[in-house]
């Protein structure tokens, strides 16, 4: 048994779908998610050009400051261009870690006492040492609008 569709139905059906479906799609509510902000990290006091600068932006204590791969976002940049912009971050509290991975091992190298063997810098830390060990709480800052953060590398 063959089905026949008359020409009138073939023309009316697409018009009906266009008139009925298109306005429904256009009336979908717009997303209420706010666009993210940008964080530009500028690394200062870079003394050597070999290796990579590893930058990690942490939103929680887990992995801070040693494990960049556990950061919310991270980047690997060249020491000769020590600035990177992270885009579309949600507003919130963050801590930034910068490691000058001079031997490109992908991690912060440490000596037998656990002290860094490579330059490292953190947000809110002009200097790091035995008398000023890094803590997540002290490195935290609030990001509400796009901005620039300077992080000083501390040689070890």
Going by C-alpha positions, the residue among 114, 117, 75, 115 that lies closest to residue 98 is 75
Per-residue confidence (pLDDT) for residue 34, from 0 to 100: 54
pLDDT in tens, 22-58: 344 444 434 344 579 999 999 999 999 999 999 999 9
Interval 11-23: pLDDT, tens? 444 443 334 443 4
Domains of the chain, each with CATH number or no CATH: 37-152 (2.60.40)
Rounded Cα–Cα distance for residues 98 and 66 (Å): 10
The average confidence (pLDDT) of the chain is: 82
* N-to-C CA span, the chain: 87
Mean pLDDT value of segment 100-118: 91
The pLDDT assigned to 24 comes to: 41
The pLDDT, as a whole number, for residue 17 is 37
Greater model confidence, 78 or 13: 78
Buried b (16+ CB within 10 A) or exposed e, 130-153: eeeebebeebbeebeeeeebebbb
Reply yes or no on whether the pLDDT at 89 is more than 70: yes
* Average pLDDT of the residues in 92-100: 97
**Cα gap 64→58, rounded to integer Å:** 7
């Amino acid at each position: 048994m063959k089905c026949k569709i008359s020409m009138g139905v073939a023309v009316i059906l697409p018009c009906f779908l266009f008139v009925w479906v298109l306005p429904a799609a256009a009336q979908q509510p717009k997303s209420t998610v706010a666009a993210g902000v940008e964080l530009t990290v500028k690394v200062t006091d870079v003394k050597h050009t070999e290796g990579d600068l590893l930058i990690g932006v942490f939103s929680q204590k887990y992995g801070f400051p040693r494990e960049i791969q556990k950061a919310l976002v991270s980047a690997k940049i060249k020491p000769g261009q020590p600035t990177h912009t992270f885009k579309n971050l949600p507003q919130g509290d963050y801590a930034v870690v910068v490691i000058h991975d001079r031997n490109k091992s992908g991690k912060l190298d440490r000596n037998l006492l656990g002290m860094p063997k490579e330059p490292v810098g953190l947000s809110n830390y002009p200097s790091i040492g035995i008398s000023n060990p890094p803590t997540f709480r002290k490195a935290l800052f609030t990001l509400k609008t796009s901005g620039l953060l300077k992080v000083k590398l501390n040689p070890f």
